[in-house]
């Protein structure tokens, strides 16, 4: 099998790959570490700590926790202690409290039987095992909001935030429980006692800026792609797509776009990823215009869309300025002998229909279509209309 002309290592675009460095999340990683910084020297006296991490998908919450957890475990080892970390994705491994506790028991004490035990008994066995073996634990529950939404059982929060009450005569050797959620909406399902133990001030992960997304993608592309397979201009375009409001600076979305664009370039035997390939993949991920939408456009809207398409193709950019589209519309008016074309009104209509994106007078684009295919569709419609 011949080597890829596009990819150096496509696994570096997988959401399961955690880079050695997490650009622009160093602050969050250090904040998680700081919670446990006094636990290394005398863990028996360190209390159970509860942390919430809140933020939309793709902002590095899970990667930051796993990175911080690894460092914390290494600090415990450096001080002669053993800390095991149990990470549970509740969307994949959850379902109910019983199944989750059994997973935790198997993670911390794989030799202990779980059959015939109730959920609460499994927690007691887990805590007793850690105390007996002089080991410590850190529990990470990802997608807690998904579990609460689907099961409506908030008991897991009540139990895990009160682990120190299960065996009051012994120290709680689970040193921390970290809950990860996409938003704080699940708080509305909790009672006051659960909210109190969970804490009212979560650590929030805010969306990346354009510069931060670009920086992250440049580093990841250097690991995933061969030299010259993707240009900095293409990375800039994907970064702009990623920070759009509907994409929430989701780095997973950007990595998928890079991976599938690379796959498409490979299948088309091109040695570089092109803007049209990116657009085509984006169109599959997030379709903005159906054939019905296109057929419903008035001719003035269709001509305005054509002016935007031609501007984007000529400028080889993802977004165009209004003044540039005006120039293209003047050329169209001459070409098709149009008397009037008020593109500002029609651009607004196209934006309302969610066919184009208008972020400002300098950022007008069509992110989810292949421009070449779209121009061909428009020209066919114009030709048929003018024949009649």
Q: What is the pLDDT of residue 388?
A: 61
Residue 71 has pLDDT above 70, yes or no: yes
Of the candidates 159, 1, 140, 5, which has an alpha carbon nearest to the alpha carbon of residue 73? 140
Q: What is the CATH number of the domain that holds 228?
A: 1.10.8.60
Q: What is the pLDDT of residue 288?
A: 54
Residue 18 has pLDDT above 70, yes or no: yes
Residue 80 has pLDDT above 90, yes or no: yes
Of the candidates 209, 288, 286, 224, which has an alpha carbon nearest to the alpha carbon of residue 255? 224
Average pLDDT taken over every residue of the chain:
89
The arithmetic mean of pLDDT across residues 91-96, rounded, is 76
Domain count, the chain: 3
Q: Where is average pLDDT lowest: 4-13, 92-101, 299-308?
A: 92-101
- Establish if 336 belongs to a structural domain: yes
The arithmetic mean of pLDDT across residues 1-7, rounded, is 78
pLDDT tens by residue, 123-155: 999 999 999 999 999 999 999 998 888 887 888
Same structural domain, 156 and 246: no
The arithmetic mean of pLDDT across residues 29-47, rounded, is 93
Same structural domain, 51 and 89: yes
Domain boundary among 204, 224, 255: 204
Q: What is the CATH number of the domain that holds 316?
A: 1.10.10.10
Pairing of strands 49-54, 203-204: parallel
The arithmetic mean of pLDDT across residues 274-286, rounded, is 83
The arithmetic mean of pLDDT across residues 100-110, rounded, is 91
Residue 162 in contact with residue 127, Cβ under 8 Å?
A: no
Same structural domain, 250 and 324: no
Q: Where is average pLDDT lowest: 225-229, 251-255, 291-295?
A: 291-295
Same structural domain, 42 and 57: yes
User: Beta-carbon neighbour count of residue 337 at 10 Å?
Assistant: 7
Confidence class for position 98, pLDDT limits 50, 70, 90? confident
Residue 284 has pLDDT above 90, yes or no: no
Domain boundary among 144, 171, 204: 204
pLDDT tens by residue, 302-357: 999 999 999 998 988 878 999 999 999 999 999 999 988 889 888 988 887 778 88
Q: What is the CATH number of the domain that holds 156?
A: 3.40.50.300
How far separated are the first and last CA of the chain, in Å rounded? 54
Query: Residues 23-29: contacts with CB within 8 Å, 24+ apart?
Result: 23/212, 23/215, 23/216, 23/219, 24/60, 24/208, 24/212, 24/215, 24/216, 25/60, 25/63, 25/64, 25/67, 25/205, 28/53, 28/60, 28/64, 28/203, 28/205, 29/64, 29/67, 29/68, 29/71
Same structural domain, 295 and 358: yes
Higher-confidence position of 388 and 264: 264
Burial of 188 (0-12, 13-18, 19+ CB in 10 A): exposed
Paired with 316 in beta bridges are: none
Same structural domain, 171 and 223: no
Confidence class for position 193, pLDDT limits 50, 70, 90? confident
Residue 274 in contact with residue 230, Cβ under 8 Å?
A: no
Of the candidates 12, 3, 1, which has an alpha carbon nearest to the alpha carbon of residue 221? 12
pLDDT tens by residue, 368-384: 667 887 888 888 888 88
Residue 174 in contact with residue 138, Cβ under 8 Å?
A: yes
- Establish if 20 belongs to a structural domain: no
- Establish if 14 belongs to a structural domain: no
Q: What is the pLDDT of residue 290?
A: 62
pLDDT tens by residue, 227-252: 999 999 999 999 998 998 878 899 99
| pTM for this entry | 0.74
Q: Where is average pLDDT lowest: 21-35, 165-179, 357-371?
A: 357-371
Q: Helices 343-352 and 299-315: crossing angle, nearest 10°?
A: 90
Residue 287 has pLDDT above 60, yes or no: no
Same structural domain, 274 and 301: no
Of the chain, the percentage scoring pLDDT greater than 90 comes to 56
Say how far apart CA 371 and CA 278 lie, in whole Å: 11
Say how far apart CA 117 and CA 360 lie, in whole Å: 60
Same structural domain, 112 and 260: no
Higher-confidence position of 287 and 243: 243
Same structural domain, 33 and 62: yes
Of the candidates 285, 286, 313, which has an alpha carbon nearest to the alpha carbon of residue 372? 313
Say how far apart CA 64 and CA 208 lie, in whole Å: 14
Say how far apart CA 244 and CA 218 lie, in whole Å: 18
Q: What is the pLDDT of residue 1?
A: 40
Say how far apart CA 295 and CA 302 lie, in whole Å: 9
Burial of 177 (0-12, 13-18, 19+ CB in 10 A): buried
In which domain, by residue range, is 178 found?
A: 26-204
Domain boundary among 285, 301, 335: 285
Residue 93 has pLDDT above 80, yes or no: no
């Amino acid at each position: 099998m011949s080597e890829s002309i596009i990819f150096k290592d496509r696994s570096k675009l997988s959401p399961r790959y955690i880079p050695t460095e997490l650009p622009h999340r160093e602050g969050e990683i250090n904040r998680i570490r700081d919670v446990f910084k006094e636990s290394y020297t005398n863990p028996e006296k360190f209390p159970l700590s509860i942390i919430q991490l809140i933020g939309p998908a793709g902002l590095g919450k899970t990667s930051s926790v796993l990175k911080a957890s690894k460092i914390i475990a290494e600090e415990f080892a450096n001080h002669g202690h053993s800390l095991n970390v149990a990470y549970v994705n509740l969307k994949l491994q959850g379902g109910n409290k019983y199944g989750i506790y059994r997973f935790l028991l198997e993670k911390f004490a794989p030799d202990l039987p779980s059959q015939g035990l109730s959920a609460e008994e499994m927690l007691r066995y887990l805590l007793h095992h850690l105390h007996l073996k002089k080991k410590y634990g850190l529990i990470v529950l990802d997608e807690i909001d998904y579990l609460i939404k689907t099961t409506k059982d908030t008991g897991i929060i009540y139990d895990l935030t009160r682990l120190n009450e299960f065996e009051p005569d012994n120290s709680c050797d689970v040193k921390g429980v970290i809950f990860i959620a996409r938003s704080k909406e699940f708080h509305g399902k909790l009672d006051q006692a659960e909210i109190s133990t969970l804490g009212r001030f979560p650590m929030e992960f805010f969306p990346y800026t354009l510069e931060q997304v670009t920086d992250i993608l440049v580093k990841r592309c250097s690991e995933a792609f061969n030299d010259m397979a993707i240009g900095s201009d293409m990375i800039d375009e994907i970064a702009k797509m990623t920070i759009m409001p509907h994409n929430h600076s989701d780095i997973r979305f950007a990595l998928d776009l890079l991976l599938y664009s690379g796959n498409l370039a490979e299948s088309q035997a091109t040695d570089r990823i092109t803007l049209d390939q990116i657009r085509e993949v984006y169109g599959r991920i997030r379709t903005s215009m159906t054939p019905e939408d296109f057929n419903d456009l008035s001719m003035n809207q269709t001509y305005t869309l054509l002016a935007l398409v031609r501007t984007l193709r000529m400028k080889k950019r993802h977004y165009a300025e209004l003044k540039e589209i005006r120039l293209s519309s003047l050329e169209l008016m001459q070409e098709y002998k149009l008397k009037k074309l008020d593109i500002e009104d029609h651009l607004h209509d196209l934006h309302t229909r969610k066919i184009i994106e208008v972020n400002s007078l300098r950022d007008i684009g069509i992110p989810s279509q292949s421009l070449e295919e779209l121009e061909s569709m428009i020209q066919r419609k114009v030709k048929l209309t003018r024949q009649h």
